[in-house]
A and B are shown apart, each in its own frame.
Chain A
Amino acid sequence: MNLVRTGAIYLLLGLLLFGMLFPFYVMLVTSLKPMGEVFTSPPTWLPRAPTLRSYIEVWRAIPLGRFFLNSLIIALGAAGLTLACAVPAGYALARYRFPGRSLVLYAILVTQMFSPVVVIITLFKVLTAYRMLNTYASLIVTNAAFALAFSLWMLTGFFQSVPREIEEAARIDGCTTTQAVLKVLVPLAAPGVATTVIYTFILAWNEFIFALTFISSTRMQPLTVGLASFIGRFTVEWNNLMAGSLLATLPVILLFLLVERHLVKGLSAGALK
């Protein structure tokens, strides 16, 4: 009986993993095929002559380096701006009692419910009027705003979990409040701060619709829009595109492995219970 149950569980897992991983198999195998083999019909299950050439070729076929740089600037900028806004605000929400405090918390949460499409028309008009289209700033600011809700809730929770007394002790030792926050509270809430930064970074790195709308010059495009725009071309060099997609995802996978364990723990300890 138990053997049957174990067998059934592994069978289920097998089916599930097949469904989840088949696309990656396609991605990897395609990226290892030479150009000629990509365009055969029916396709081959495995490359006849596997090659890593796509991973070199793609940097020349499309301005991948430039896309990487753009994504990096936008994602880091957004993470920085979110943090600069969320740390003081999180501190205020965690340590001060003032009228409208819970209103602020819920109003911020409600912004999570909005579709970016609802705000994009006006943002486009405003950015056009101020000649801000095709700038990093346009994407840094919008991404930061959309990451703010999560970051604020996260940091408020973490700041609340640090006992007030530690901060007061720092102040008795001669720190100003600002110093106490930056040198004592923020380091103690480091897992929360790190999660916030990584969350915003990934959100901005993966963002598509704002970049699609605000950026029209290839030189300023981030990876997401840059890669997708190459599908529209006459012949798509799928092996290069798959190699580029894998390379573009690498930073996210690395960050992801870094926080994966904390993510499950954080979720089970936090707001979802």
Chain B
Amino acid sequence: MLDGASGVVVTVGHAGRARFGLLRRHRTPILLLLPSLSLLGAVVAYPILDTFITAFFKTDPMGRRTAFVAFDHFRALAKDSLFRQILGQTALWTVLSVSLKTLFGLVAALVLHTGLPGMRVARLLVILPWAFSLPIAAILWRWIYDSQMGMLNLLLTTIGLTGHTWLADPGLAFGATLTVSVWTGVPFMALVFLAGLQGIPEELYEAGRIDGAGRWQEFGYLTMPLLKPTFVVATLLSAVWTFNSFVLVHVITGGGPLHATDILVTFLYKSAFEWLSFGQASAMALVTFFILLVFSVVYVRLYYREEMLSQ
């Protein structure tokens, strides 16, 4: 089956035939790709298409489309002050969480990269939280935040501060949930930055030292610029994941109290599976899709433009 990359080349001239010839000529790679493409088609491409269509329809509680309503769902969303609040919270959530993950991850990587005694063990310990699945991390933190029996309040009272009802207080729940998000994201950042640091040739530092660069100059003019590609990829991936942090929010607070911790994905999920307004939820899914798409494209474009300018 894997043999026979050579197909018969059909005479050019008739467009349909030529395309058919193309298919036959590349029959082997197409056949080899078929399982992957059908899997992605069934699980990713088709559902996205269907969701896009549903976004313009009224639906029954089973999710079936009943009547075309054009942009009604989107208009309703634009007017909904709760939805706007959730959009703002999602932006704040993503920006704050990714910034803190990056900061702590970078510091961790720099510390681990010093190669001082004990750093090999420390590396394992720093990336350990990565092994825990997000649902389990969320369960664990719910227990840590427990106002009566939780150990965070014990820790705070031990060092002379006061405890709080972290998850029931709308003013605190967002920060508390965000902390968990940062905690779960630092290992990836540390690991990636560590890999980036290890990829910088030692000779560059030697050259820098010969030219009389101090430690901070070394960091500012050598390490940081050379880490930039790593930085871009890592923060982009992290931003997409953080934006999508359904599990943490769902398990820790369920989006409450009073939607204080809801982000786009949890709100969308509730809209579909609790309130059964599938049309509205599909419209939100479309918004989510485009936010991620635009974000990724702009982010990568900005980076490459800078790359070109600096050359």
Contact = CB atoms under 8 A, between A and B. Distances in A.
B149 interface: yes
B204 interface: no
Given A20-B126, A26-B144, A241 B139 contact: yes
B140 A23 contact: yes
A122 B136 contact: no
Given A20-B129, A23-B129, A111-B44, A264 B139 contact: no
A30 B155 CA distance: 15
Contacts of B148: 41
B93 interface: no
Which applies to chain B's interface (DSSP): helix, strand, loop or mixed? helix
A273 interface: yes
Interface in B264-305: 265, 268-269, 272-273, 278, 281-282, 285, 288-289, 292-293, 296
Interface residues of A, number: 98
A231 B142 contact: yes
A178 B2 CA distance: 6
Which applies to chain A's interface (DSSP): helix, strand, loop or mixed? helix
Contact of B138 (A104, A146, A181, A228): A228
Contacts of B155: 22
Given A13-B122, A20-B126, A26-B144, A264 B29 contact: no
A16 interface: yes
Contact of A206 (B30, B135, B293): B135
Contacts of B43: 119, 123, 141-142, 145-146
Interface in A213-257: 213, 224-225, 227-228, 231, 236, 238, 241-242, 245, 248-249, 252-253, 256-257
A49 interface: no
A213 B270 CA distance: 11
A89 B36 contact: yes
Contact of B192 (A43, A104, A272): A272
Interface residues of B, number: 100
B133 A273 contact: no
A114 B296 CA distance: 11
A172 interface: no
Interface in A78-98: 81, 84-86, 88-89, 91-93, 96, 98
Interface string A99-131: 101001000100111111111111111101000
A42 B144 contact: no
Interface stretch (B47-55, B71-79, B80-88): B47-55
A256 to B, nearest CB: 5
Interface of A: 6, 9-10, 12-13, 16-17, 19-24, 26-27, 29-30, 38-43, 45, 81, 84-86, 88-89, 91-93, 96, 98-99, 101, 104, 108, 111-126, 128, 141-142, 144-146, 148, 152, 176-178, 181, 205-206, 208-209, 212-213, 224-225, 227-228, 231, 236, 238, 241-242, 245, 248-249, 252-253, 256-257, 260, 263-265, 267-268, 271-273
10 contacts: A20-B128, A43-B154, A114-B292, A115-B244, A115-B246, A123-B43, A206-B135, A208-B251, A249-B133, A267-B195
Given A208-B134, A209-B269, 8 more contacts: A13-B122, A26-B144, A41-B149, A88-B32, A122-B54, A148-B36, A152-B36, A245-B140
